[in-house]
Amino acid sequence: MNRTVLVTGASRGIGRAIASAFAAEGDRLIITCSRSEQELLNFKKELEETFHTEVLASVGDISSFEYVEQLFEQITERFGGVDVLINNAGISYIGLLTDMSIDDWNRIVSTNLTSVFSTSRLAIPHMVHEKKGKIINISSVWGIAGASCEVAYSACKGGINSFTKALAKELAPSNIQVNAIACGVIDTQMNACFSEEERAELADEIPAGRFGTPEETAHLAVQLATGNEYLTGQIITLDGGWL
């Protein structure tokens, strides 16, 4: 489709699957990650060779507004702007709130929530100028229900859900749609902390009887980014009927 698509946190898991899905559609890609430089560069090469598309790879701290500004300078120079923004970057913290330091809290919030502000803030002017655009935020069911021992993560995802609804109203007159995918248990490295027994018990709690896949999340993201100009401000739960 020759759109320009920015996917944050794209070196692995859901972000990687989303980038691949958009590349398969013929879109240009900007992919980012915070640490796994070689992994990201290998993925860039894979996308270019497999889908014959243009890919800009960038490694940096997505929680830093200064880094995001520099990223968008590169994007503007090379592509003009972003047509589809996928805010996927995120980290987790599992533990009691009383054991959490203020530094841990700030790191989670800046990476998971402030980054969504930064990328959206800098992507919107081009979208408004073009009178079209899609912003898709990757959220979590814990942003709806809350998770014990994941208070900071849940708070960030709840914030993303409210951010999505509010920004959708703000941008609807400019024909820009903002939606979120609230993922349930998706089979990624973030869930590697579970033992096989714990995985089986968790799968039994899900009516669909299994974890979701990154590819299923990616398929939904592509659907949301294609057409659907009246669909905005929605938190779409992808959880196999879990909650």
* CATH of span 4-91+114-148+157-185+214-238: 3.40.50.720
C-alpha R_g of the chain: 17
Query: What does the pLDDT average to over 88-115?
Result: 97
Predicted local distance difference test score (pLDDT) of residue 40? 97
| pTM summary value | 0.96
Per-residue CA distances from 86 to 61, 181, 210 (Å): 16, 10, 25
Query: 42, 86, 39, 61: which is closest to 189 by C-alpha?
Result: 39
Predicted local distance difference test score (pLDDT) of residue 194? 78
The answer on pLDDT for 155 being more than 80 is yes
Query: 135, 133, 153: which is closest to 144 by C-alpha?
Result: 153
Measured CA to CA, the distance from residue 210 to residue 204 in angstroms comes to: 7
Catalytic residue flag (residue 67) = no
By three-state DSSP, how is residue 31 classified? strand
Query: 217, 29, 72: which is closest to 138 by C-alpha?
Result: 217
Measured CA to CA, the distance from residue 142 to residue 36 in angstroms comes to: 26
What are the tens digits of pLDDT across the range 115-152?
999 999 999 999 999 999 999 999 999 999 999 999 99
What are the tens digits of pLDDT across the range 157-205?
999 999 999 999 999 999 999 999 999 999 987 777 778 898 899 999 9
Per-residue CA distances from 24 to 3, 135, 136, 190, 212 (Å): 12, 19, 18, 25, 21
Q: pLDDT confidence of 224, banded at 50, 70, 90?
A: very high
Per-residue CA distances from 211 to 144, 178, 205, 208 (Å): 18, 26, 10, 8
Predicted local distance difference test score (pLDDT) of residue 218? 98
Query: What does the pLDDT average to over 34-62?
Result: 96
Q: Token match 């959206």: residue?
A: 120
Q: Token match 């989670």: residue?
A: 108
